[in-house]
């Protein structure tokens, strides 16, 4: 009975779509149809937001989008003989069509993504041998020690697990550099890391020359190892103990499986999250990709390698001559090549590693520039749509992933299009104010609803637009550069272990203030034109509202580039672990309440504890997962708060021995469930209306804060070198 009912619902929905799209161009009819569709989508969202009804709602939304496309194509383009209006008008039209095309690709990929996969247990006797690769270039040894210690603590038979530090910072090429200081640094690094690996039980491996960047480093690891599988962790990505237990079982289920990818979870906020203070209350940007898009790609056997937090089959890599290195995004390129050879991939939607992401805005832009340029190289050299061996859905999935990075072009056009009318009186959009408002407003409202259906609690309204805007200003020249010279970009390691010691404006902030000033002038021009040309008031009001929306976005961006002082590179993770706190010969029971990479907060009970914390040096004693006996970790007391008969103690770790790195890694990285709980705590869906109201309040406050930073630090601070230092905090 259910299937005929759903078939009937689909038939009705299809008939409604055809009816809505083919309606004669009539403003009142369109307003009525758009309002009805919007109400239907809202009602379905409230009562039937999943399954077939979700697809029905998206189908109705698609009808309005197609209706808008039909109207834009047939009724709004300027005459060809007026080139001064036609050219910018055509560019605006193409930018909108790009957005619509990407929306349809998103619908194909994530309209109904796969649910999270269950774990695949595997018998102890069937466990494959695994080589763990930790590629490194210039990362701090303390950071590497924590990652290696976490990898060595993986819950896996020791005789089938080998951990490799692949060090590209100590190559023969760097040690023999013509720059004597650089050579001495490389020599010392190599000696220190060899000693560190020997103490932790890992293997140290470097090579003669730094060729083909990370891909070349990984391939060198393949040449010197023999494991059935290869797990890859970036230098700042430490795995949970259960990582291999949660992933290797899939390879026994499918002999043509080349990849099991897991999400990247970050212990620290990115610049937007830190400067806007949204890290604890709003889902992170990467959660939209890892929480929804990768599951959608997984449905079409197109989940791709993301450079870390993944396990790959050696046999597959050998078939393709190792990791691909034509582009600077070797991960996605490798996945395309292996998918085209008939290999399969799996995505496991469970955070099993914790890492760091760029803290400063300049490092964030540097990372995104590399991603954008690498994807453009893949589009140029691999062109997924015509890649032989890929299925049609895989072609569409990879085209979506690569074409996404063209967003700086339409974003730039959307930003400045209203100014063509306000400043130059160019008619790049031939429609009355009423038509413009009715069609565009209904399209935007339906688009926001569709985005809410697709991403829900994983992405709040307008946040994606803000992320794209703050990247556009600096990514546009990077994308143009790789389009003109596809082989020019080179791999650059992103600095992530940074802290900001003083509140300041980013050295990349100047363009954002210039753009904000131009858009603000546009607001005054709008008011003047309404007064001076009342017969054009309808069009001027609509275009002015568009410019005002851009101004709101630009104002929010001022808060992003106004970087807050923050000494700690990572936030604390809540845990509840029994331990003993000791000073000298005095040991008292305690509980570790939260922990970061550099320290912890303990709660100590009893009167004897009050006297014990008067000194700065102390220790904590607990039994790590990898041991049956308690181990002692030295700490320095930083602060204490008396709470009745208990004392809350803030302390920092003192790593003096190798075992101390292992203990810190055990506290922070052993238990993956704590990361899942943290993600769940900030995933909620405010809805389109409440989300929009929240964003407007946020933008107003951040505009004021950004301008305050400008006048407080002076114009000389804009573009000044970053006062950020690299530290594992």
Contacts by residues 679-682 (CB-CB < 8 Å, ≥ 24 positions apart): 679/265, 679/283, 679/284, 679/287, 679/351, 681/280, 682/280, 682/281, 682/282, 682/283, 682/284
Q: CB atoms < 10 A from the CB of 148, how many?
A: 32
Question: DSSP readout, 404-454?
Answer: GGGTHHHHHHHHHHHHHHHHH---SS-S-HHHHHHHHHHHHHHHHHHHHHH
**CA 673, CA 671: separation in Å to the nearest integer?**
6
Residues 6+ apart with CB under 8 A from 668: 146, 238, 267, 354, 573, 595, 596, 597
Question: Smallest Cα–Cα separation from 303: which of 337, 344, 266?
Answer: 344
Catalytic member of 146, 234, 331, 349? 331
Structure tokens at 554: 């630009």
Question: DSSP readout, 198-227?
Answer: HHHT-EEE--SS--SHHHHHHHHHHHT---
* Residue 119, CA atoms < 13 Å, CB-side half-sphere: 10
**CA 137, CA 91: separation in Å to the nearest integer?**
42
Q: What is the DSSP letter of 461?
A: T
**CA 17, CA 36: separation in Å to the nearest integer?**
12
**CA 289, CA 478: separation in Å to the nearest integer?**
22
Question: Smallest Cα–Cα separation from 202: which of 266, 140, 141?
Answer: 141
Strand partners, 459: none
Helices and strands (DSSP H and E) totals, the chain: 26, 20
Known catalytic residue at 140? no
Interhelix angle 408-424/463-484, nearest 10 degrees? 100
Question: Smallest Cα–Cα separation from 313: which of 341, 344, 336?
Answer: 344
CA 354 centroid distance within chain: 13
**CA 187, CA 176: separation in Å to the nearest integer?**
9
End-to-end CA distance of the chain: 60
Known catalytic residue at 715? no
**CA 242, CA 669: separation in Å to the nearest integer?**
10
* Residue 212, CA atoms < 13 Å, CB-side half-sphere: 16
CB 267 within 8 A of CB 674: no
Catalytic member of 131, 146, 167, 168? 168
Residue with tokens 């043509």: 256
Ramachandran area for residue 601 (φ above 0: left; ψ -120 to 50: alpha; else beta): beta
**CA 86, CA 97: separation in Å to the nearest integer?**
16
Burial label, 645 (beta-carbon count in 10 A; 0-12, 13-18, 19+):
exposed
Residues 6+ apart with CB under 8 A from 581: 587, 588, 589, 590, 602, 604, 609, 612, 618, 619, 620, 621, 649
Question: Smallest Cα–Cα separation from 358: which of 168, 563, 569, 147?
Answer: 569
Q: Sheet of 229-232: strands edge to edge?
A: 203-205, 161-167, 130-136, 229-232, 310-313, 257-261, 344-347
Taken in order 119, 122, 124, 128, the sign of the CA dihedral is negative
N residues, the chain? 729
Question: DSSP readout, 166-200?
Answer: EESSS-HHHHT-SSHHHHHHHHHHHHHHHHHHHHH
CB 422 within 8 A of CB 543: yes
**CA 142, CA 138: separation in Å to the nearest integer?**
12
Residues with a catalytic annotation lie at 168, 331
């Amino acid at each position: 009975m259910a299937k005929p009912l759903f078939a009937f619902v689909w038939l009705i929905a299809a008939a409604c779509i055809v009816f809505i799209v083919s309606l004669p161009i009539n403003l009142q009819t369109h307003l009525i149809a758009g309002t009805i569709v919007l109400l239907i989508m809202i009602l379905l969202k409230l009562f039937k937001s999943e399954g077939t009804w979700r697809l029905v709602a998206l189908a109705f939304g698609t009808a309005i989008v197609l209706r808008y496309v039909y109207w834009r194509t047939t009724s709004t383009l300027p005459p060809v003989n007026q080139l001064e209006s036609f050219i910018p008008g055509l560019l605006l039209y193409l930018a909108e069509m790009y957005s619509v095309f990407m929306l349809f690709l998103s619908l194909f990929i994530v309209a109904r993504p796969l649910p999270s996969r269950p774990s695949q247990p595997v018998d102890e006797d069937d466990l494959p041998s695994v080589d763990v690769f930790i590629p490194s270039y210039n990362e701090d040894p303390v950071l590497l020690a924590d990652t290696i210690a976490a990898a060595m603590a993986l819950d896996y038979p020791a005789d089938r697990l080998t951990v490799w530090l692949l060090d590209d910072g100590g190559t023969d090429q760097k040690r023999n550099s013509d720059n004597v200081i650089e050579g001495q640094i490389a020599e010392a690094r190599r000696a220190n890391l060899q000693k560190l690996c020997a103490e932790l039980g890992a293997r140290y491996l470097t090579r003669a020359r730094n060729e083909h960047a990370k891909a070349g480093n990984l391939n060198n690891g393949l040449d010197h190892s023999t494991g059935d599988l290869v797990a890859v962790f970036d230098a700042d990505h430490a795995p949970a103990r259960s990582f291999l237990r949660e992933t290797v079982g899939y390879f026994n289920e499918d002999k043509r499986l080349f990849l099991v990818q897991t999400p990247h979870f970050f212990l620290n906020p990115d610049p937007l999250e830190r400067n806007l203070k949204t890290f604890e209350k709003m889902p992170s940007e990467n959660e939209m990709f890892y929480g929804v898009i990768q599951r959608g790609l997984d449905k079409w056997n197109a989940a791709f390698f993301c450079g870390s937090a993944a396990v790959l089959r050696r046999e597959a890599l050998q078939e393709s001559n190792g990791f691909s290195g034509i582009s600077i995004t070797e991960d996605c390129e490798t996945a395309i090549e292996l998918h085209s050879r008939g290999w399969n991939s799996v995505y496991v939607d469970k955070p099993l590693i914790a890492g760091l992401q760029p803290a400063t805005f300049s490092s964030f832009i540097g990372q995104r520039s590399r991603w954008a340029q690498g994807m453009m190289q893949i589009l140029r050299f691999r062109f997924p749509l015509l890649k032989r061996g890929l299925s049609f859905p895989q072609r569409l999935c990879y085209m979506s992933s690569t074409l996404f990075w063209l967003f700086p072009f339409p974003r730039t056009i959307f930003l400045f299009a209203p100014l063509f009318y306000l400043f130059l009186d160019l008619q790049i959009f031939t429609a009355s104010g009423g038509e413009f408002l009715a069609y565009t407003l209904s399209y935007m409202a339906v688009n926001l609803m569709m985005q809410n259906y697709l991403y829900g609690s994983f992405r709040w309204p307008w946040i994606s637009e803000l992320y794209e805007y703050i990247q556009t200003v600096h990514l546009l020249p990077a994308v143009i550069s790789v389009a003109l010279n596809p082989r020019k970009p080179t791999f650059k390691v992103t600095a992530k272990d940074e802290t900001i010691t003083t509140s300041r404006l980013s050295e990349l902030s100047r363009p954002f203030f210039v753009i904000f000033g131009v858009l603000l002038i546009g607001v005054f021009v709008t008011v003047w034109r309404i007064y001076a040309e009342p017969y054009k008031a309808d069009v001027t009001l609509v275009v002015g509202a568009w410019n005002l929306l851009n101004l709101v976005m630009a104002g929010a961006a001022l808060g992003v580039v106004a970087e807050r002082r923050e000494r700690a590179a990572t936030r604390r993770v809540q845990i509840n672990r029994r331990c003993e706190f000791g000073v000298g010969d005095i040991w008292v029971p305690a509980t570790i309440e939260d922990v970061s990479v550099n320290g912890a907060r303990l709660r100590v009970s009893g009167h004897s504890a009050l006297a014990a914390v008067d000194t700065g040096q102390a220790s904590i004693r607990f039994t790590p997962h990898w041991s049956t006996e308690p181990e002692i970790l030295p700490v320095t007391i930083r602060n204490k708060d008396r709470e009745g008969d208990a004392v809350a103690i803030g302390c920092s770790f003192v790593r003096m021995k190798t075992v101390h790195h292992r203990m810190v890694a055990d506290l922070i990285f052993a238990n993956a469930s704590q990361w899942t709980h943290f993600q769940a705590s900030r995933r909620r869906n405010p809805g389109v209306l409440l989300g929009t109201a929240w964003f407007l309040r946020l933008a107003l406050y951040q505009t004021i804060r950004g301008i305050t930073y400008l006048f407080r630090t002076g114009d000389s601070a804009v573009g000044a070198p970053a006062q950020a230092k690299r530290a594992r905090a």
